[in-house]
A and B are shown apart, each in its own frame.
Chain A
Amino acid sequence: MLDGTKAELTERTALRINPAKTCQPIGAMYAALGIHGCMPHSHGSQGCCAYHRSHLTRHYKEPVMATTSSFTEGSAVFGGLANLTTALQNIFSIYNPDVVAIHTTCLSEVIGDDIPTIIKKARDEGKVPEGKVVIHTNTPSFVGSHVTGFSNMVTSTIKYLAEKTGKTTDRLNVIPGYLDPSDILEIKRLLGILGVSSILLPDTSGVLDTGLDGNYTMFPKGGTTVEDIKSMGDSFATIACGHFASHAAATQLENQCNVPAGFLELPIGLTGTDRFINAVRQYATIDIPEAIEEERARLIDLMSDLHQYLHGKTVAIAGDPDHVIAMTQFLVDLDMKPKYIVTGTPGQFFERRIAEILKDSGSNATVKQFGDLFEMHQWIKNDPVDLIIGNTYNKHIARVENIPLIRFGFPILDRGTHRLFPTVGYTGAKRLIDEMVNALLDKKDRECDEQWFELIQ
């Protein structure tokens, strides 16, 4: 397995091998699914849409609906105006969504299609029914990563829809980041305990985690409603989780509607969750209920109980930058040693922020933005680690190097339940500890000499 990967490191300037990222449009599609009644629309060749829907479906194991402009050679030469206009007419006639959220692809970006002009023309021609919303974002695949595409869609949604009436509401905006529906539910549960009324954008809970009851609705109950998105401009504050996925949208809202923004990291792990809870406390001027402190104490109790199994363990982490940053912080909280820290998404902020987190930890890590899993594997070959944390694409490295893999982030394609259990909040932190400790102990139990195979540990 991965027999072509050798320990010797060579400089690569052109060849990406085993990426730790994918392209912008899939992130935009995912973000758009977090708007209630929204049909994401991919303006480009139909293969993009097919690939994105397939991959999102493999991760969420739920229907993922999206439409495409189905470019052919003619549209590539003459532009996508006709295709997008036809698409809009068909989408509203057949599927009748409240919102169509268009994102571009590398093809339509290179052609230079002017989406707002096409939307306006379609409206003028009556292809967009009265009262229906059409928004768009530009997601050139040759810039950034899927996280950038996610951020662009959230930012554009706010740009198109958020309004300030001048009457501030008692609601707090939360831009939660590129999270699973279970994470969104957990954040909402925490906000419920804190007694804070909120608007989350995007909110894929109730969209990509629906049950099986014999019915199918193309636009399920979940998702942030257009009405709520509009009123985000009147909320008293915004908390944005994640520099790469969420901060741009909060900045947009701050500039557009003067809603004060708090820039946080993902509420993953102890410190991440503490900061989130504390920020909500400060912005909403509330006292923290005992129930939250009890949850927190249970996590601390677990950290204390299992500290011996995690302390000093070395870790390779790869994935999306906001996830990796938050996870690195949590590993430091657990006195573990993050050793190789990689994101495929470009952005110098990543390396700077990781360096800050590791400053006093004594961890001498190799950190890389715009990196890939091939190189991380080479580092591991040179000097191994105790654990790998990342998405499914790390499973080959884990197997060939005999290192347990903790599946974390997007996408997880080979296990069915990760999407259902949050990694955010104190609850999510407990689950992460559970997975890490069990993986290490399972390995020990499987491999240790018999005299060291113990009943109690």
Chain B
Amino acid sequence: MPANSAKLGLAAAIEAKLGSSVFSAREKPEPETIPIGIREIDAECGGIPRGVITEITGPASSGRTTLLHSILAGMTAQGEACALVDASDAFDPASAAAAGVALQQLLWVRCGTHKNNALRVTDVLLQNGGWGMIVLDLGDIDSKDARRIPLHTGHRFRLAIENKPTVFLVIGQEPYAASCSAMVLETHAPAPSGKDACFAAPFSRPTGANPPAASRHFRAAMEHPGVPWTVRERLRAREIRI
């Protein structure tokens, strides 16, 4: 590359004149990470990084919300203030409480179906600072609508979150932040399991609780490696498949 060679030549000339210690590599420090409870991911990259955009993407019933609630439970357990910007008003406090989320530590912003409001609220929260985690939930927003989110929004969010000790999660069906996200965690819905694998038979279920029948479906998916999680870590440009 001529540009590279020119740059190297210029650097060599300056070093020859001023000394070898003129240019020193300034590496960006690794962001602090928090474990998310998936052994393989925690072992590989330490969990979810702070100060960058992390996306959890996948189709419906692929375990995005379960993973989100698990992370929220961990964060609120540490006493960190968390904010959930719910673009489609889909948050279920009962199942979050069952997952261990301390609801009094959580600010839930219901934006109805106004996607733009959700983006504005996220902006306001990012500017405020001091949050342990901010979640932008676009999980039920149609992919076509979500793709209309201007690209500069992601850049703005990235700059706003930079150098802040805040975990910023974006939940969606597809990765929307494009190159602005540092990590993309893709969840995959399992293939049809059939009656034998998923539901045994109608069994008693107390009101207000999560059905154990459904939980089997996901537990199987989460516990058995090889199916559900793919992590794309843009920071280190590698892909982890579990």
The judgment on whether A and B are partners is no
Interface residues, chain B, with chain A CB atoms under 8 Å away: none
Interface residues, chain A, with chain B CB atoms under 8 Å away: none
